[in-house]
Structure 1
Amino acid sequence: MRKVIAGLGLNRFGVKLFLAYFAILGLGIYLLLNTLLGEIKPGLRQAMETALVDTANILAEYVAPATPQQPLQLEQLSEVLDSTLRRPINATIWSHKKTATVLRVYVTDAAGKVVFDSAGRDLGADYSRWNDVYLTLRGQYGARSTQENPGDEFSSVMYISAPVYARQDGAQPRQILGVLSVGKSNISVEPFWQLARDNIRSMGVWLLVLAAILGALLSTWLSLSIGKLVSYARRIGAGETAESPTLSDPDLAALAQAMDEMRTALDGKQYIESYTLSLTHEMKSPLTALQGAAELIPQVNDPQMQQKLAANIERESKRLRALVDQVLSLARLENRQQLEQPQTLKLDELIQQELDGLQWLAGQRQVGLAFSCHPQSSVFSVSGDPLLLAQAVRNLLENALDFSPADSLISVRLEAAHDGFILLEIADQGSGIPDYALEKIWQRFYSLPRPSTGQRSTGLGLSFVAQIAKLHSAELSLTNRPEGGVLARLRFPAG
């Protein structure tokens, strides 16, 4: 059972729903079929009783005399019954073969004495106390069921009686001259009852199987839908970027939308808290330096020292201003869900422009810049925002320059991959990223000291590049090169 449930993809909720659905529907089907089975047998007997009523009244006309003074016409009835009982029948009724007429007919006089018996066994017997004769002689509907063999329920025979009147009796009420009773074994309807019972039970089994299949499908569908919501909740709970699942059920879709709205609200709150804490922490250092320099200037009489403190104030002010500007830029960028007006641009030309703009800085630091495209005949077109892509390339190049020693080379390579992507690689020959910092470099405000000055940046450059790559559906990675230095990779889908 567990393997079947696992194969259907049902979780605990789906199993409980399936079992509850199957139990309720199964109980309903059982009660319905049990009621039908309880009604069919009496219904068959009622149908047989109706046929016997008609038969008894028809045969009563056969024995009816012309006047009340004449005897009952039993000879004609005897001839008809003998011929009928000997007559072969070839009838198939509801898959049941009927080959002969099985009836017992007897006639009593007005006193209840048997004057005719098709079975030839009770002539002269007093039947006046039997219900069928007793009630009919009193102008009521006469019927009885009697076991021919006491103790054997299958020997039960139903007898239906009809009064015999004279055909020309004008008196009111008409005089009852005798009673004609027709008997038929109740077991004669047993084949039809068994066939109906078997058909109903077979139908019940198929209904249960169909109900189980439909219940399994319903439970599987709900389990999968709920599983999507659970997976979505866990992914956003783990801090991953996930889209709200698409669900066909309107209620579940509304729940997914509510979860997405809650996620957006929580992300906004967490985003603000994270930025506030990080920005406050990063602003402490320049603010402390500014406060210290401001307090020392009035106390220092040395002009050179005052000039040095003023320069320190200016430097820390610029650092603080750059930090605030970059935080605002990154915040605006992270709030964007997609590019507003993407353009098709040539990535090789954009990179060359950024390299040209940084030639003077590379010359000052005695670092070479080399750019190559492979293959040279390829068209390196991508779809994106030219300003953002230029900023991302510039940040990666500036980062490589900051960690490159003098007389080293920064290699920039652009390659058209066979899988429809364009790969940008920027490799430097610096000291590489320490092992302890490999997981931290993507955090906002985390920065490593520059080898040449020992100073740190705002720590927002890589976060900025990562967000730009996300908006352009690009893949960004930074790894240490075996021969030394860092390799930055940006993998763009071709435009």
Structure 2
Amino acid sequence: MASWVGIVSWVQRGPQAQAIGNQVISIVTITHAALTHSAPELRKELLFELVSNEGIRIFPLEVTDKVAPPPDTPLMDDIESIVKSKLGSDTRFSSRVNDQPGFWVSFKIDDDKYWMMLERERITGLTRVQWAGWAAVVGVLSLLGAGLISSLINLPLSRLTAAARDIARGRKPDPLPEKGPTEIAEANHSFNQMVEDLAQVESDRAVILAGISHDLRTPLARMGLEVEMADLSTEAREGMQSDIAQMDAIIGQFLDYAKPTEAATFVPVDISALLEEVAREAGRTASLRVSTDIAPDLHVMGNSTDLRRVINNLIENARRYGTTPGTGYTEVDIACHAQGLGPLRRVVIEVQDHGVGVPDDQIEQLLKPFTRLDTARGQANGSGLGLAIVERAVTRHNAELHVKNRDGGGLQIRISMPPAA
């Protein structure tokens, strides 16, 4: 806007000064000619006509006149230069003569000098109202142009954001258009290449995991059979079988952690019924005491197998590390309720135990793969992937996971999921 004001002022000044200067020259020349060639008895009538019709007044120029200098502006300097080049360098200008304001220009008829007074408006530039009007027009045009440019820039960024969000949710986005400004085209090309690379990594990982499952579990099954047939004491056989079962469970955890879940397979899941079923199955374990507070008919979008695995991992984590002090068994509370209204509505699942909990400064470590807080949670048998699997599956379901210590002791894990449409 400042540049525009400067440019308009500079570009407009020359033509405006030329127009005003030519107008002053024409008026002075015509007035001079009219007064020179008119009969003396008709000059009063001529001066009256000039005043009443043209707003031009003629006064004799006296030495005693009190003359104020003209406005000190670049426009006035240009007007003076133009007028003096035609009427003579002795032409005088004034903004006030004998305390009467106006646009005063001197001229001569023979040896007599006169003042010609014109309206002051003849030498004014754009008024404040005109400047404000033009500024408003330019401001509106600038905003429209900025909005257009912003939309052209934001559209590729919005596509990129949506594609990145699809990847975070486990979906493969459509290829981004590799056109437009160089930076946008290069960014989209790099993103498309990254998506292809990630897809290839997922494919290679699936092949590797299939090989791990076959190559490790087959020998474990053979070892289990040999242990059954070997002439071992009961204690040794049970110990080896426990070790083999633990190794098989660890392999299963690795596979669960690495196995991708396609968001395209998500369907409405009756999470209330699923939680009731998981709670009944867990309640059959002798070392568990499971209580529930589950609202009926709550549905979420997801993969029922993954959601069942999430809840089972949370219960198993509580069974291993959340034993209620002084009882020898684990108390697990499972709750599920809907919270909020409209677009803010969420289905909230809570699983908590009554154990000793975890030091507050170590809670964030629980969600990291291969992390086991031995001192805080007791024993250390497993891969340390239980809660990492939960966190990974929850993220793929566009949900939020919160872990904190329960009031009164124990660990509380809270999952907030969007409901099914």
Is TM-score (shorter-chain normalized) higher than 0.5?
yes
2:322 corresponds to 1:409? no
Write the distance in 2 (CA, Å) between the matches of 1:83 and 1:472. Answer: 99
Write the distance in 2 (CA, Å) between the matches of 1:52 and 1:86. Answer: 9
Write the distance in 2 (CA, Å) between the matches of 1:402 and 1:50. Answer: 111
Asked if 1 retains the 8 angstrom alpha-carbon contact of 2:290 and 2:331, the reply is yes
Asked if 2 retains the 8 angstrom alpha-carbon contact of 1:84 and 1:101, the reply is no
**Residues 333-412 of structure 1 mapped to structure 2, 5 A cutoff:** 333=261, 339-360=263-284, 362-363=285-286, 366-373=287-294, 378-405=296-323, 406-412=328-334
Aligned to 1:81: 42
Taking structure 1 as reference, are residues 145 and 30 closer, same or farther at Cα in structure 2, changes over 3 Å only? closer
Gaps of 5+ in 2: 61-84, 94-104, 170-178, 224-229
**Residues 86-101 of structure 1 mapped to structure 2, 5 A cutoff:** 91=52, 93=54, 97-98=55-56
Question: What is the aligned-residue identity percentage?
Answer: 14
Q: Deviations over 1:402-458 (max 9, x none)?
A: 224333322212234455433322222223224453120111222345999933323
Write the distance in 2 (CA, Å) between the matches of 1:470 and 1:206. Answer: 55
Number of aligned positions between the proteins? 333
Write the distance in 2 (CA, Å) between the matches of 1:207 and 1:438. Answer: 62
Give the CA deviation at 1:319: 5.7
Structure 2: which amino acid aligns with 1:382? V
2:187 corresponds to 1:258? yes
Aligned to 2:380: 455
SS in 1 for 2:312: helix
SS in 2 for 1:454: coil
Flag the structure with higher helix content: 2
Which protein is bigger by CA-based radius of gyration? 1
Taking structure 1 as reference, are residues 313 and 92 closer, same or farther at Cα in structure 2, changes over 3 Å only? farther
Q: Deviations over 1:212-240 (max 9, x none)?
A: 967996999899999xx9xx99xx9xxx9
SS in 2 for 1:458: coil
Give the CA deviation at 1:470: 2.9
Gaps of 5+ in 1: 1-20, 60-76, 104-142, 160-182, 242-249, 295-301
Root mean square deviation of aligned Cα: 5.6
Taking structure 1 as reference, are residues 478 and 43 closer, same or farther at Cα in structure 2, changes over 3 Å only? same
**Residues 71-470 of structure 1 mapped to structure 2, 5 A cutoff:** 78=39, 81-82=42-43, 84-85=45-46, 91=52, 93=54, 97-98=55-56, 145=87, 154-157=105-108, 188=116, 191-192=118-119, 194-200=120-126, 202=128, 206=132, 255=184, 258=187, 265=194, 314=244, 318=248, 321-329=251-259, 332-333=260-261, 339-360=263-284, 362-363=285-286, 366-373=287-294, 378-405=296-323, 406-417=328-339, 419=341, 420-449=345-374, 454-470=379-395
**Residues 15-54 of structure 1 mapped to structure 2, 5 A cutoff:** 22=2, 24-48=3-27, 51=30
Give the CA deviation at 1:30: 3.0
Structure 2: which amino acid aligns with 1:191? L
Give the CA deviation at 1:351: 0.7
Write the distance in 2 (CA, Å) between the matches of 1:468 and 1:391. Answer: 9
Asked if 2 retains the 8 angstrom alpha-carbon contact of 1:431 and 1:484, the reply is yes
